[in-house]
């Protein structure tokens, strides 16, 4: 048996076909469709492309935003179009196979817990750091969803600052500690120091997260300082989550979160400096995700395989 897992993010749709062990057999990627209904059509196209005559028993979907796993509804998301779309029902009607849907951070966490950096964890937090900050919790091997939407850590006010957020409010953690914050600070720095080393190093390139992180990894000091600043804001927020959950493992993934020790070191340092009772309690391991950008899609596939088991 194989299953297809689909990760619908703010900008790209990435799908994989996996076997029962979670190994990727094939993959498919495209840009995220513009409208809510087009999203469902885009998922159908991904599944049909990957199935291509082979036996696909189930489809799982992780979507960036508020997803009701129990009803199979995509409710809303600041980065993905559509409101209250009954994705699971529509996909089941189109595809005629078992379908499961969840928040994309949840599917990413499921994959990292089963196959990646969170193996053996009993109380794992997953943070995906990219366009925003996605969060998920895996306790005792199960995703904790609250009523439905638990883990939206990116939209809690864990740091100082009142920058406007894509969710319509101000002061959310992700406005200080994710990709767009890095880009904002870099633009401010370049405006105030147009002949500086970062401006020189970027040259004609647009000021983007990947360009800044590439400069930092190449040793450019202003870019390193910006990564440090974002990492410290991330770590300050993390110290509150550590007090709340006392996790045994924190996995950091996502596009920006996966750049490595250059970011993880300032995260650990500031989490340690700002956390409660630091002298009496060891800092939890804060580790890089292992499965890369396909984790969300792999986890969606695992969720689908679980759902087949539930149906039997």
In this complex, which beta carbon is closest to Zn ion, that of residue 126 or of residue 158? 158
The region of 15-23, 87-95, 141-149, 163-171 touching Zn ion under the rule CB under 5 A is: 163-171
CB of 270 to Zn ion, least distance (A): 21
- Evaluated on CA atoms 301, 304, 308, 309, the torsion sign reads positive
CB of 279 to Zn ion, least distance (A): 33
The region of 14-22, 159-167, 222-230, 267-275 touching Zn ion under the rule CB under 5 A is: 159-167
Determine the 3-state secondary structure of 128 from DSSP: strand
Return the residue of 126, 165, 215, 289 that touches Zn ion, per CB under 5 A. 165
**Applying CB under 5 A, does 167 fall inside the site for Zn ion?**
yes
Cα distance between residue 303 and residue 102, in whole Å: 9
CB of 283 to Zn ion, least distance (A): 27
**Applying CB under 5 A, does 155 fall inside the site for Zn ion?**
yes
Strands 123-129 and 73-76: unpaired
Q: Residue 53: what are its φ and ψ, rounded to 5°?
A: 90, -20
Vertex 89 angle, CA 87 and 95, to 5°: 95
**Applying CB under 5 A, does 75 fall inside the site for Zn ion?**
no
**Applying CB under 5 A, does 113 fall inside the site for Zn ion?**
no
Instruction: Report, in this order, helix, strand and coil percent for the chain, each rounded to 5.
Output: 45, 25, 35
Cα distance between residue 170 and residue 186, in whole Å: 20
Place of tokens 């000021």: 207
In this complex, which beta carbon is closest to Zn ion, that of residue 167 or of residue 225? 167
In this complex, which beta carbon is closest to Zn ion, that of residue 131 or of residue 270? 131
Return the residue of 110, 172, 224, 233 that touches Zn ion, per CB under 5 A. 172
Please state, in angstroms and as integers, the Cα–Cα distance from residue 228 to each residue in 216, 232, 269, following that order.
10, 6, 10
CB of 188 to Zn ion, least distance (A): 21
CB of 78 to Zn ion, least distance (A): 7
Binding positions for Zn ion, rule: CB under 5 A: 155, 165, 167, 172
């Amino acid at each position: 048996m194989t299953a297809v897992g689909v990760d619908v993010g703010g900008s790209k749709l990435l799908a994989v076909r996996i076997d029962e062990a979670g190994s990727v057999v094939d993959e498919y990627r495209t840009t995220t469709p513009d409208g809510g209904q087009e999203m469902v059509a885009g998922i159908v196209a991904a599944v049909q492309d990957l199935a291509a005559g082979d036996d696909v028993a189930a489809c799982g979907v992780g979507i960036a935003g508020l997803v009701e796993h129990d009803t199979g509804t995509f409710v809303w998301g600041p980065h993905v179009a559509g409101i209250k779309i009954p994705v699971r029902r529509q996909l089941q009607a189109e595809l005629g196979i078992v379908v499961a849907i969840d928040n994309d951070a949840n599917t990413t966490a499921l994959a990292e817990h089963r196959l990646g950096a969170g193996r053996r964890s009993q109380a794992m937090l997953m943070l995906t750091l990219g366009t925003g900050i996605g969060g998920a919790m895996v306790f005792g091997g199960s995703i904790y969803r609250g009523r439905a939407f638990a883990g939206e850590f990116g939209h809690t006010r864990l740091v100082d600052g009142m920058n406007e957020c894509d969710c319509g409010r101000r002061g959310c953690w992700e406005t200080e500690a994710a990709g767009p914050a890095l880009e904002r600070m870099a633009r401010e720095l370049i405006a105030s120091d147009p002949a500086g080393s970062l401006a020189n190093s970027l040259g004609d390139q647009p000021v983007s997260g990947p360009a800044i992180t590439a400069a930092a990894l190449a040793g450019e000091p202003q870019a390193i300082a910006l990564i440090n600043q974002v990492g410290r804001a991330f770590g300050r927020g993390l110290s509150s989550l550590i007090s709340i959950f006392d996790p045994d493992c924190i996995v950091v993934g996502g596009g920006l979160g996966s750049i490595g020790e250059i970011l993880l070191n300032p995260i650990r340092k500031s989490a340690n400096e700002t956390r409660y009772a630091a002298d009496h309690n060891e800092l939890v391991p804060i580790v890089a995700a292992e499965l890369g950008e396909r984790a969300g899609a792999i986890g969606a596939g695992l969720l689908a395989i679980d759902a087949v088991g539930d149906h039997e």
